Amino acid sequence: MPESCYANNCVNPGMNSLQKKIKALLLSCITLPEESYRDSCLVHSTQKPFENIPINIQNALISDSFAKYNQSLQTEYLYRTSVGTYFIEPTSGFVFQKLRSLRKSLPYDYDSKIAFAKNLLWLTGLKKKNWIKRNTVISLRDVYENSYFHFYNDILTKLPLINTYCGANNYPIVISESLSKKRFFGEVYDRNVFNDREVIVQDKNTFVSATEVIFGKPLPHCKHYLDYILDKLGVQKDPEGTRRTFVVRNRQTEHGRTLINLDEIKRLCEKYDFEMVDPGGMSLERQIETYSQSLYVVGIHGGGMANIIFRRNSKMKVLEIFPPDNIPPHYYWLSHLYGYDYDAIVGIKDKSLEIREPFYLEPNLLEKKLVELDRRF
């Protein structure tokens, strides 16, 4: 995830004043001014929900990164269009009116140039595209819609936000074709998290048209919203669970963030009675069972760590392992929300490697932390 995703840093610091003016002019031509649909706004707030969270981590690299993120402004908003006809562009997920996008319809992506260019190319053939028309739809489109973590933290949490300001409803939801093919979406759907709503799947040639399009951005890492999802999934507390879980990422995954010396780390896990699991190959039912019963969770930074929410406030000790070039505080924040004991360590990587390349974890450092786990309870 780009560092700017939760820091609201949408301006490239390398841009000079002329480049900024050109970009502003371009965006003004291809996006609707927010004033034109301000009356459609149901709620809009800005806050710093994490600024007072204590940081009790010895590693300066981690604590400095977390301190920076803790000061980030977070926004929450919800819009319900009501004047004119709108459509959701299939490739980007932006909501458009004619050929101008509503920038806030796609959280964390404020650059409409790609979608606009594609619409220009398609303009002469729009009538030949597939069109699905409804009176009202809910857009669950998102820049990170194929990410397991963001699916829970940023997409599903739109549902309780919408219920709060639009009341109980069964409006159809719009998702991308790529999300519909994810196993985690299908398993959540089967548990009726969407309340029997119609699910409209957008492939690359399908536009969705409606008079009312509901879109928004929930406050990230919001316990109230996450608990709503956990309740819908039927996740129960298991405070008596004492499992020791070490979360790994499959070496074949396209997401990277794996350990070069994983075999060496496996031997340490066996020594301290940790079960190594790869959530990517587990069913939702098994993931809920494993994490709700885990007293200890140690894992490499990645979507699999999001499952710590399944423990639901029961006692848990979390130890997160970071590569040195990617240290966001998602699971530190979640641990704070759910009352877990949290610590983190950093691995070693050749600076010439890309950000998602495998990295090395010092076994002695990990063993020291594993020994400390029991002492901290």
| Dihedral Cα 164, 166, 169, 175, nearest 10 deg | -90
CB atoms near residue 2 (< 10 Å): 11
In this prediction, what percent of the chain has a pLDDT beyond 70? 83
Burial 243-276 (b: 16+ CB within 10 A, else e): bbbbbbbeeeeeebbbbbebeebeebbeebebee
Give the torsion sign (CA, 45, 229, 277, 376): positive
* Domain coordinates in residue numbering, the chain: 32-232, 237-375
Whole-prediction pTM value? 0.88
Whether residue 329 contacts residue 310, with contact meaning beta carbons closer than 8 Å, is answered with: no
- Three-class SS of residue 275? strand
Asked which of 87-91, 124-128, 200-204 is least confident by mean pLDDT, the reply is 124-128
Rounded distance, CA 300 to CA 100, Å? Answer: 41
Query: pLDDT at residue 274 above 60?
Result: yes
Burial 184-212 (b: 16+ CB within 10 A, else e): bbeebeeeebbeebeebbbeeebbbebeb
Query: pLDDT at residue 276 above 90?
Result: yes
Q: Does domain 237-375 have CATH number 3.40.50?
A: yes
Cα 230 from chain centre: 16
| Dihedral Cα 283, 286, 291, 292, nearest 10 deg | 130
Model confidence pLDDT, tens digit, residues 190-249 = 999 999 999 999 998 899 999 999 999 999 999 999 999 999 999 999 899 999 999 997
Whether residue 96 contacts residue 89, with contact meaning beta carbons closer than 8 Å, is answered with: yes
For tokens 């780009």, what's the residue? 2
Model confidence pLDDT, tens digit, residues 131-162 = 999 999 999 999 999 999 999 999 999 999 99
Burial environment of residue 11 by CB neighbours within 10 A (0 to 12, 13 to 18, 19 or more): exposed
